[in-house]
Amino acid sequence: MRIDTLLAAGSTRSFEFFPPKSDEESATLGATLHDLETLSPSFVSVTYRGGRESRQRTFDLVTDIERGGHLVSMAHLICVGHEREEMREILTNYLDAGVANVMALGGDIPDDRTLVASEFRHAIDLVELVRDVGEFSIGVAAHPLGHPSSPDLVSDRRHLAEKLRLADFAVTQFFFELSDWTNLVDQLGALGVTKPVLPGIMPVTTLSGITRMAQMGAAVPTSLMNRLETANTRGGPSAVRDEGVRAAGELCEQLLDSGAPGLHFYTLNRSTATREIHEALYGPGGVRRP
């Protein structure tokens, strides 16, 4: 099943995972997949950090999911460190395995710079190759607050619009205010691009997470920081977690009410927070609660 077809049919619910690196991580992910499968997500996506070993782990997990026949999967691919023929082979292998959905990303240059050499400059180059190789449904990344490497928001939106014209849909970096998503969609619309932009959701469940998320280019707004700090004063870490999950659920409600084409949850390979938000939003069969 193609994700663009799912989006055309109605609102989607999707979960993102990363491939495990150890037996312990494999056990955690296995339990999470089993738990979240019962929520009947529209699709799941699997990240890829770069390097041959990580690429193989992504391929193995995505194809295992496809063979299971219960979930639609999407494989992440990055440009950094790849030659065109190598990427063409990777894409052909996915097609042969029955994988129809790809997230085409630029990727981060690693600290040791071992993967700097590349025949791709930007994610749009990868999108063009994916289009040439086969009938994939292609997703791309969008940053509501602007990509960290963009010199300004105007050029960020211009490049995103150019990329999204060739792709089928976008998935955003996580964010915390409705206006972050609505402004992004409006700015793309002004550039003539109206393809679906799925909002990425990840609750802040610890006070230390505030700093980590800012480092990832998604600063937590003052209003949410105040809510979390107040919760910590009243009830400690467990209250912070509960308040963060509650705030994420409120954002999801606002997004759906504002016409978002679906919700994409960054699970960090654990099911509890995602399940709590999902159950507050949807009833049996994935129907949104009134």
Q: Which of 16, 89, 135, 276 is catalytic?
A: 16
CA distance 208 to 223: 16
Could you give the angle at which helices 272-281 and 237-257 cross, rounded to 10 degrees? 40
What is the three-state SS of the chain?
A: CCHHHHHHHCCEEEEEECCCCCHHHHHHHHHHHHHHHCCCCCEEEECCCCCHHHHHHHHHHHHHHHHHCCCCEEEEEECCCCCHHHHHHHHHHHHHCCCCEEEEECCCCCCCCCCCCCCCCCHHHHHHHHHHHCCCEEEEEECCCCCCCCCCHHHHHHHHHHHHHHCCEEEEEECCCHHHHHHHHHHHHHCCCCCCEEEEECCCCCCHHHHHHHHCCCCCCHHHHHHHHHHHHHHCHHHHHHHHHHHHHHHHHHHHHCCCCEEEEECCCCCHHHHHHHHHHECHHHCECC
Q: Is 16 a catalytic residue?
A: yes
Distance CA 273, CA 247 (A): 12
Alpha carbons 48 and 118: distance in angstroms, whole number: 16
Q: Known catalytic residues?
A: 16
